[in-house]
Chains A and B, each alone.
Chain A
Amino acid sequence: MKPPPESVIDVQGVTKRFGDRTVVNRIDLRVLRGEIFGFLGPNGSGTSTFLRILCGLLTPDEGSGRCLGHDIRSDRAAIKREVGYMTQRFSFYEDLTIQENLDFIARIYAVANRAAAVRQSLQTLGLTERGHQLAGQLSGGWKQRLALAACLIHQPQLLLLDEPTAGVDPKARRDFWEQIHRLAAQGLTVLITTHYMDEAERCHRLAYLAYGNLLTHGTVAEVVQGANLTTYEISGPLLHRLADQLRGQPGVEQVVAFGNTLHVSGRNALQLHQSLAPARSDPYHCRAITSGLEDVFISLMDTARDNFR
């Protein structure tokens, strides 16, 4: 029998201000055990701040809730013990060796049988032979692997990853995501921020944040459906001229070049259809397609800019 889904994160109305700037604005969120939850949003949208609140680094100005069953206001120390938090920048010691870094973190978390835990971690990393190399000499991909290994050494219940794959090559990113899915299958809950659409699509559920506001959340399909966006794909010669012609027409909200095609989207399907009349005649070919996540997010971002700025 499978136990009923248990919420690992359950917060309401979380708000954080820096001075008179509201960075996180009344966010409600529930994340279930074993879920990989993606957080997307433009730079400065408050995703990092929200993650810092969840891991107990910051106290919210308003709002309440629980993270791993601990109160996010009063029980930050307990949260810190059970959460693995990976910062945006590599934040381990470059002048310590790989092994020393792992050993240090294991000591800080009072990991039982420390030497074995460090050895195990090095083995999983595939770094047993390079354990004595300084962390500063590692490449970006390896630094990221080390950081992940260090975050996992105390066997946390919840992993908070702040743009973990920025500047990492595609192969290393794929390995990384495979590991994340493996861990989630074992019951670890993962909250991850990213700017990559392909990564967003690998998450079980998503949320989109802009200027501190939670604009949408749900599965990829739910998010796309909820956006109520109509998209057409147009092919033909000299598309950039057509693009200039279409921009600013009623109903046309986005005109984006995708390789040899043009994606044109809008929320008002009727207006969009009328404005696309020139694209339906020769030499162009026009067909309706399902909106992609990226189309949805760019649309959300534009709307958010109008509403919240």
Chain B
Amino acid sequence: MKHHQFNFQRFWAIVAKEFIQMRRDRLTFGMMIGIPMMQLILFGFAINSDPKHLPTAVLSADHSVFARSFVSALKNSAYFDVRHELHSEAELDRVLDHGEVQFAIQIPADFSRRLLRGERPALLLAADATDPAASGGAIAALHLLVDSALNHDLKGPLQKLRASPGPIELIIHRRYNPEIITQYNIVPGLMGVVLTMTMVIITALAITRERERGTMENLLSTPARPGEVMIGKIVPYIMVGYLQAILVLLAARYLFQVPVIGSVTLLMIVILLFIAANLAVGITFSTLARNQLQAMQMSFFFFLPSILLSGFMFPFRGMPVWAQYLGEILPLTHFLRIVRGILLKGNDLSDIAPGLWPIALFLVAMLALGIHRYRQTLD
């Protein structure tokens, strides 16, 4: 039937109306621009923590007793959790790029031979330093670990090798963020936080407001179809979301000098998915809330776990396992990894794919719930 089709003119009427209202509502408009700016400035300060049990990969080309006791010392330590035994450097690069591990330790083939000759062989530690707070404590611990592990084996005639400056040379590569600049981690993350906050709150409010003021009833008595009303109300906020994302991106690049290695186009596409996921939450809340205050409260109910459990405020791997499981549900968790991956590591589509589907899944589930609830509120 022809009148069941989506009508672009009606849809556009709603979009235009929404923009006029946005312009009139100075406070909300200020919030949309003010929140990103405020957070950018406030979160310039770092939030630190000392996470343990960080996933680690070992690439050992040496099979001597020294290498083995070093690896078992790693395994026994609280900081390192050896998950992978690697066989090539390409593999090492891959696990770091994908964020599967925080550290990769490379033991060269001539490790024990040079150790015994007293040549201070090199032990390479490659750390994913996109989140410097997550690796700082572990790196400090590694120095002690190396000494105590080898001292145990360097007995009798080998004891002389224990003399300072230590039997081996520990080389640390802080990948993606060599100077451990906290802003590298915080600022890209802010993009996700800002979008989560404003997208959820503002859509929840915009739709609840129509219901609270009785204008929704009026709108639904017109030929405008529910789909046109919804999408017409959402599209302006997608544009606002992009404005915020670009604002943060510009600040990241020019204010905080965060490197932008990966594809900005790819990032912009991912942002659309992420915005959609948050808008779906906002719509669902608007169908549950009876007034704007409730909509606001629900938004915070979603926002707080997002900011606390996503790895934005505290290193994700420093959280207890149950909290990590909760965090994995939230779109922000995956979005943070993707933004940092694209900006700092130059991730491409295949690298970020593991983070995309959980966001998509969340979007579909939330949308199904929201549309289901929305239908109920109509009759």
Contacts and interface: CB of A to CB of B under 8 A. Distances in A.
Contacts of A109: 222-223
A105 B9 CA distance: 12
Contacts of A85: 218, 221
Interface of A: 52, 55-59, 77-78, 80-81, 83, 85, 87-96, 100, 104-105, 107-110, 134
Given A77-B4, A96-B21, A55 B13 contact: no
Given A95-B24, A96-B20, A110-B10, A105 B222 contact: yes
Interface size on B, as a range, is 20 to 34
Contact of A90 (B14, B17, B21, B214): B214
A13 B17 CA distance: 40
Contacts of A55: 221
A107 B214 contact: no
A108 B10 contact: yes
B217 A104 contact: no
- In the A-B complex, the 7 residue pairs with the smallest Cβ-Cβ separation, listed nearest first, are A107-B13, A91-B218, A91-B214, A89-B214, A85-B221, A77-B3, A95-B24
A88 B215 CA distance: 11
Contact of B220 (A57, A59, A78, A93): A57
Contact of A78 (B3, B9, B12, B214): B3
B235 to A, nearest CB: 16
Q: Is the interface of A mostly helix, strand, loop or mixed?
A: loop
A96 B215 CA distance: 12
Interface in B1-27: 1, 3-4, 7, 9-10, 12-14, 16-17, 20-21, 24-25
Contacts, number: 74
B223 A80 contact: yes
B17 A87 contact: no
Contacts of A95: 20-21, 24-25
A107 B9 CA distance: 7
Interface of B: 1, 3-4, 7, 9-10, 12-14, 16-17, 20-21, 24-25, 213-215, 217-225, 379
A91 B217 contact: yes
Given A55-B221, A94-B213, A100-B17, 17 more contacts: A57-B217, A77-B223, A80-B222, A85-B218, A87-B217, A87-B218, A88-B214, A89-B213, A92-B215, A92-B218, A93-B21, A95-B25, A96-B24, A104-B13, A108-B14, A108-B219, A109-B223
Contacts of B217: 57, 87, 91
Contacts of A107: 9-10, 12-13, 16
A93 B212 CA distance: 12
A108 B3 contact: no
Contact of A56 (B1, B21, B219, B221): B221
A80 B228 CA distance: 15
A143 to B, nearest CB: 12
Contacts of A56: 221
Contacts of A59: 379
7 contacts: A80-B223, A100-B20, A104-B16, A107-B16, A108-B10, A108-B14, A108-B223
A93 B215 contact: yes
